[in-house]
Amino acid sequence: MNDTLALALALVAGSVLGGIFFGGLWWTIRNGVSSDRPAIWFFGSFLVRMTIVLAGFYLIARSHQWQRLVMCLVGFVMARLIVTWLTRPRLENAGRPGQEASHAP
């Protein structure tokens, strides 16, 4: 396989793994906080996400080429930045100072 194509595929694989990991983390936080048993949500999600990501990195590392592993890691970090940007809270009143709580003494 062409080296450039293999590196591009490793980058895409890392992006997919990062999207699964960090997207799953965001989904877990949104659902786990309001759950009756948040520990099960967080621990179960952690196990599933880590299993998927470690299996993916293992498959990339089996090629015994560190360049592919580095590209996979770059894709993983890029996915983190993208998921963080997509899931950030929207600031409707960005230019206005915060309103004080009405229940404060």
Say whether 91 sits in a helix, a strand or coil: coil
Distance (Å, rounded) from C-alpha 95 to C-alpha 102? Answer: 21
pLDDT at site 103: 64
Distance (Å, rounded) from C-alpha 90 to C-alpha 28? Answer: 19
pLDDT at site 98: 56
Give average pLDDT by consecutive 10-residue segment, the chain, 105 residues.
86 94 92 89 94 93 89 94 87 60 60
Give the start-to-end residue ranges of the domains of the chain.
Answer: 3-86
Query: What crossing angle do the helices spanning 3-32 and 66-86 adopt, rounded to 10°?
Result: 40
| Model pTM score | 0.77
Nearest Cα to Cα of residue 83 among 36, 38, 27: 27
